[in-house]
Structure 1
Amino acid sequence: MTATTDVRRAAVAAVAACGLVAGCGTTTTGPAAQPTKVHDQHQGQGTQGQPIDMVKTTEADWQQVARALGRPGKLSADGTVYRVGFPRTDLQVTSYGVRIKPPFALGSYAAFARYADGSTMVMGDLVVSEPELPKVTDALQRRGIAQTAVHKHLLAHDPDVWWSHLHATGRDPVAIARAIRAALDQTATPAPAAPSSPPPLDLDTQRIDAALGAKGSNDGGIYKFSFARKETITSHGRVINAAMGVNTALNFQPTGGGKAAINGDFVMTAGEVQKVIQALRRGGIDIVEVHQHALDDEPRLFYMHFWANTDAVRLAVALRAAVDASAVKPA
């Protein structure tokens, strides 16, 4: 066997492998659109095997993306991630008698980051009703947007709602935005509402902050916390951060009398999963799901949704024990 034959066989194998990965090679922008070249996700390492880092951007850099998606986003404080939200204010979802507010667990989003090699990566999560899920799946797959998880965030809830994580990497962020918009158009996701001041919180936020060792924020009447991994996380050879959705998110929805329903996500390495489960159960918190958000993150990360509805300060103490069982810090 000659060296030339070996090279040819390797090239054929590489092409075949690329064909098995959604988003590897091309992304389309619509049913009649021509394929647009995107970055090869399997050649995502920088020089000497170093991950490719994010670069800072401005709001102006993302205006065409905002237009393609039909709504504005928000740039992270460090300028690396442009995140666009699509709250499902149209869905009337209840779980264990609690009416779920959109900022609590019904917020679709797409997070865009630009990289030093000129590529853009998008990670996100779409909240869809059960009848919408097949149509959204088909729309994403037709346009080369990868789905990296399909799961639920809540236990018993009505109507049935699913969450589909998405991923894309390419040279044209507007083409990716149009592909995501095509999937959103398969849902009843409403147009964005005018900004308004969040309602006051019927919670002892000072004691909750003290218990969690962090400062929460009021997002539409939901008290929220975010914790980032302490180590560098990569996907497809590129650095990803908490603003992309790689975070422990703790959400408190007031339910009266100082009580709150809690839901969110713990981000964990494999060795932390059982420790976090045990800490949550010791605090009387139910486990909803254990799953992944990405297909090739490094180190390998898992995410856990949870639920409880009782005294908010007591729940914050229980959540702190689970936070301390994983290598995270306030984001």
Structure 2
Amino acid sequence: ASPIASTPALTPDEITAIETALGKKGSYKEAESVHTTPLPRNDLKVTVKGAPVPIPFGFGGWVSFKKSVDGKSAMVMGDTVLLQEEVNPLISAAQANGLEIGAIHNHFFYEEPRIFYVHVHGMGTVADLAKRYADTIRGSKIFPANQPPAGPPPTMTGKENFDIPALDAIVKYTGTVNGPTYKYTIGRSDLKVMMMGVEMTTNIGLNTWASFAGKQDDAQIAGDIAMLPGEVNNVIKTLRQHNIEVVAVHSHMLSDDPHIIFLHYLGRGPATDLAKGFRAALDVLGKAPMGGMKM
């Protein structure tokens, strides 16, 4: 059996411990044995190049829990959405609670206010990790109890804003309507990536995604592409050929094997054109050697 098939499931008591510590219900993906809690920044009003963008466009953090393949420990992995002045207080809180920082970086250009993303991880028992993670974020805006409600649902959702069948036909995947946005989340089923004895799968952070905001004829796209080192520059070349801006190239994880590089991108134009650029980048994946340049 593959590690994903043999990873022990979280028990009902462990899921209860997570949701009690965070004070919020999450979702459990049985196929991956991963529990995820969304941590959106509903307190923020964000613009990109002066245009308002919804929080689901790319300003929603998350935290996930998954056991190691041997079942002897578990991992917490999260991505936090922070204002500049919130970054170092959260770092200190994470380290005080025995958690580690895996990455600190931007996902966007031109956004106001300036947003940074801090990846946090740790190993232990599920209940202990849930408590330590909750204690880490308790004094911050990202703690669920410190967030305002999301507000009334939008009058126009991603279903009305976009020609979803046309986008799905281009991308060759089915996305999810999230408020006024439409989002694709795509795993790397061609790879087996391990970190600290845990198989990294789609819902614990090993994924490529694309989020569409705006309207069909005037859309914005933002997203992230998970790549092997040898795929990075081919993806960059492909995105630029489709007039999509490359925003950041960096890692999200420590001790992952093989090492995964993540690329964030941003574009604006007709949604079908943006979808073609995203699909072209997907077509590059899986067609490069494990390493970088050949010498």
TM-score w.r.t. structure 1 length? Answer: 0.78
1:272 lines up with 2:225 in the alignment: no
Q: Check 1:323–1:178 CA distance in 2 against 1; reply closer, same or farther (3 A cut).
A: same
Identity across matched positions, percent? 29
Cα distance in structure 2, aligned partners of 1:293 and 1:143: 20
Asked if 2 retains the 8 angstrom alpha-carbon contact of 1:53 and 1:239, the reply is no
- Once the two structures are TM-superposed, the CA of residue 228 in structure 1 deviates from its matched residue by 1.2
- The aligned counterpart of 1:89 is 42
Corresponding residue number in structure 2 for 1:44? none
Q: Distance in 1 between matches of 2:274 and 2:236?
A: 14
Q: CA deviation at 1:176?
A: 1.6
Q: Deviations over 1:45-64 (max 9, x none)?
A: xxxxx999522235553011
Partner of 2:56: 103
Task: Work out which of the residue numbers 144, 150, 153 in structure 1 matches 2:98.
Answer: 144
Q: Is the 8 A contact 2:244 2:265 kept in 1?
A: yes
| Alignment match, 1:153 | 107
User: Structure 2 CA distance, aligned partners of 1:157 and 1:121?
Assistant: 32
Q: Judge conservation of contact 2:14–2:126 (CA < 8 Å) in 1.
A: no
Q: How far does residue 205 in structure 1 lie from its aligned partner after superposition?
A: 1.0
Alpha-carbon distance, 1:260 to partner: 1.4
Amino acid in the other structure paired with 1:84:
T
Tell me the residue number matched to 1:41: none
Q: CA deviation at 1:301?
A: 0.5
Q: 2:191 aligns with which of 227, 231, 255?
A: 231
Instruction: Say yes or no: does 1:125 pair with 2:79.
Output: yes
5 Å matches for 1:49-64? Answer: 53-57=6-10, 61-64=14-17
CA distance in 1 between counterparts of 2:91 and 2:276 reads 39
Counterparts of 1:157 and 1:319 in 2: how far apart (Å)?
21
- Count of aligned positions: 277
The one of 181, 203, 218 aligned to 1:243: 203
Which residues of 2 match residues 30-41 of structure 1 at below 5 A?
none
Gaps of 5+ in 2: 288-295
Correspondences of 1:186-225 after superposition (within 5 Å): 186-189=139-142, 190-191=146-147, 193=149, 199-201=156-158, 202-225=161-184
* 1:284 alignment partner in structure 2: 243
2:21 aligned with 1:68: yes
**Paired AA for residue 311 in structure 1:** P
Deviation digits for residues 100-126 of structure 1 (CA, Å, limit 9, x no counterpart): 322111111111012332311111101
CA distance in 1, matches of 2:58, 2:12: 26
Q: Partner of 1:36 in structure 2?
A: none
Taking only aligned residues, the RMSD between alpha carbons, in angstroms, comes to 2.2
1:231–1:195: structure 2 CA closer, same or farther, 3 Å change rule? farther
What is the alpha-carbon distance in structure 1 between the residues aligned to residue 83 and residue 191 of structure 2? 35
Corresponding residue for 1:318?
Answer: 277
Q: CA separation in 1, counterparts of 2:202 and 2:4?
A: 17
Q: TM-score scaled by structure 2? A: 0.88
Quick check: 2:43–2:147 contact (8 Å CA) kept in 1? no
- Asked if the contact 1:53–1:238 (Cα under 8 Å) also holds between the matched residues in 2, the reply is no
8 Å contact kept, 2:64–2:76: yes
Q: Is residue 97–residue 136 contact of structure 2 (8 Å, CA) maintained in 1?
A: no
| Equivalent position of 1:308 in the other structure | 267
Query: Is 2:215 the counterpart of 1:261?
Result: no
